[in-house]
Structure 1
């Protein structure tokens, strides 16, 4: 058993033969001008995923709270269908065994599984046979709630928020008029002392005005994820900030706290998956070592996981018959672990081997924080 730990060309003109008379070219009408395309409003929409069916063993259940999947930016007319997951809940209220049942999300549903992994339910007896269905909802920039626009702008995975969205966020006021006020002193909370949320990023949007000397006034929380400590610290930070002189109204600035690491549940013993007839050697002298790649959607939420992979070895050292026989908190970690083993190679042997079992552990390492955002 081995543990893998993550850390168009122009045609040439031809001369006319000398004996041919030069003919007057025929009159050809000028082509009709091509009209300019009509100017239309931005046709991009906000895609949000809403949980519609949520039950265990046939009975409705309620999360405390339900972690929302990240929003996506799509073009008008984009179509997709609901996506469903099966899962279980342990005694602490944590979701486990997450596996996708139906996916027509066209690549825009990769955060559904991670969001479910970060969701908590009331602690009680373990529950199985659980199902959740996420339904897509598309809204125009004019219809999307302000909080959803801000949430997307802080993690614009599908490109920058359209101008119409920024106009909605800005609202009334002249803080975005040129020349915009510049920060002379931008204060920040000590994020290390603030409570965070495992598997979910918290954010707070602060609204404020500026007096003639560039001092913030009328400071308050506009909206956010509901982290009261972050809201209070963000208001304090803006009050301590200073900007270039000139009275302004309707200024905004966002602060966010990175997700806390959501550690994986305990792993079962490796011996439970090793067949008694196994011939795989205990050690692994890789000629092509495994390339350890963390599932990006889970890395973004700081969700750790693991998988136990079984496989056989061909005489030329290539793994085959690869199966993730266990993975938590989501089958996505098993899929990634299979890819890790599939790309590795061992030395050639006379007969190959059977019954190999390896553990692939996906662990979040230290990483630098994001750069500070520009003022809104």
Structure 2
């Protein structure tokens, strides 16, 4: 077994040594130390306009908050262009400027989950999301709670929990009260919203026997049925003895699956003139179908139609997205999957291949309906 013979040097210590050495070199700028605190990052949707006119409708669901080390860099605005179909659904969602935008992966799915007035299809619509950030110790408590409900970038650090504790009571004092009887709503019997995860943060106190008192909705997404069922669940629960104040517990209902917009009939059998592509394909290495994660979290399905040629050695090239819905991001994902695929070698190769990639939510990638077990011990 390997054995260390000297002092152990940690990664932060190594970083500090390197920074000190570089700063001592002649003509070298001082290297700033690595960030030691984390920030909460979120996006606020602005006004929706189609042409010169503002568009009324339900508010765009807030994109999910994320965590970042230090101050975020990069663009703090992201604009999307889209159309609204006859049902009021945003389609053909395209980011206005290409390139990577940090922390913005849920902005397009959030837009896709929004709804506008039905019966009035429109073109040329735009909306801009503005990024905000806050140190965890100064962040809005509701925004921090929202993050704990769907913590996509890791557990909330201590500074965030300390901030939540600042509005709580003795329920956060050690030892935490433990549930003896934990009642949960019948989540699958509750209405769900397509593409939107509903949640209710219930606040309550405990009497000396561990019975909940004064349960109330502290924050959430406004799902009335979930709020009502969550309050009933807390009332029926029982905890270890000891009077406490300022307890919290979150309940959530997973999004309802949002099916992809219908594929236009003209695309069902679309072919490239002069195509020599065999059907069925002779895959030597077939595409590995992967659902784009930001869209899976919201249970939003999509599709893409792509064309490509095949070299004699089986590699795919000249790849193009013919169409994708409800967002160009499904076309990007289809291209990513096809780049790693290979045909069997052939004497002449092939031109004009067209594939239709459907991203469908199946049992293996559907999120659970409830949030049992999602609450951290501090709640």
TM-score category, normalised to shorter length: 0.7 to 0.9
Question: Counterpart in 1 of 2:175?
Answer: 179
CA offset digits 1:225-263 (Å, max 9, x no partner)? 000000000010011111111111111110001111110
Equivalent residue in structure 2 for 1:144, among 124, 130, 139: 139
User: Which of residues 183, 204, 229 in structure 2 aligns to 1:233?
Assistant: 229
The 8 Å contact of residues 49 and 135 in structure 1, kept in 2 or not, is answered as yes
Contact persistence 1:196–1:260 (CA under 8 A) = yes
Deviation at 1:336, TM superposition (A): 0.7
**Which stretch of the first structure deviates more once superposed, 152-161 or 181-190?**
152-161
5 Å matches for 1:77-116?
77-81=71-75, 82-102=77-97, 106-116=101-111
Q: What is the correspondence of 1:233-252 to structure 2 with a 5 Å cutoff?
A: 233-252=229-248
Q: Does 1:254 align with 2:236?
A: no
Larger radius of gyration: 1
**Contact 2:141/2:164 (<8 A) preserved:** yes
2:15 corresponds to: none
Instruction: Spell out the pairing of 1:264-303 with structure 2 (5 A cutoff).
Output: 264-269=260-265, 270=267, 273-303=270-300
What displacement does 1:374 show? Answer: 3.5
Deviation at 1:143, TM superposition (A): 4.7
SS of the residue 1:175 aligns to: helix
Report the counterpart of residue 209 of structure 1 in structure 2: 205
Distance 2:105 2:332 in 1: 13
Name stretches of at least 5 consecutive residues in structure 1 with no aligned partner: 1-8, 11-40
Consecutive unaligned residues of structure 2, counting only runs of 5 or more, are 7-34
Structure with greater helix share of residues: 2
Answering whether residue 329 of structure 2 is matched by residue 332 of structure 1, we say: yes
CA 197–257 in structure 1, closer or farther in 2 if over 3 Å, else same: same
What does residue 55 of structure 1 align with? Answer: 49
Q: Runs ≥4 in structure 1, deviation > 6 angstroms? A: none
1:374–1:48 CA distance, 2 compared to 1 (3 A)? closer
Equivalent position to 1:69, from 45, 63, 67: 63
Change (3 A) 1:76 1:289: closer
Q: The residue matched to 1:252 in structure 2 has which SS?
A: strand
Mapped contact 2:91–2:326 kept (Cα < 8 A): yes
TM-score (norm 2): 0.84
Local SS of the residue matching 1:298: helix
> Equivalents in 1 of 2:253, 2:273: separation in Å?
49
In the alignment of these two chains, the number of paired residues is: 339
Report the RMSD for the aligned CA atoms in angstroms: 2.3
Cα distance between partner residues in 2 of 1:344 and 1:44: 39
Q: Output one character per residue of 1:191-218: Cα deviation in whole Å (capped at 9) or x when no partner.
A: 0110011111100011111111111111
Q: Separation in 1 of the partners of 2:100 and 2:304?
A: 25
Q: Which has the higher contact order (CA 8 A, sep 6+)?
A: 1
Q: Give the conservation status (yes or no) of the 8 Å contact 2:92–2:325.
A: yes
The 3 A distance-change label for structure 1 pair 344 and 178 is: same
Structure 2: distance between partners of 1:63 and 1:76: 36
**If the length of structure 1 is used for normalisation, what is the TM-score?**
0.84
Question: How far apart in 2 are the matches of 1:174 and 1:168?
Answer: 14
Using the TM superposition, give the Cα deviation of residue 54 of structure 1 relative to its aligned residue in structure 2, in angstroms: 2.3
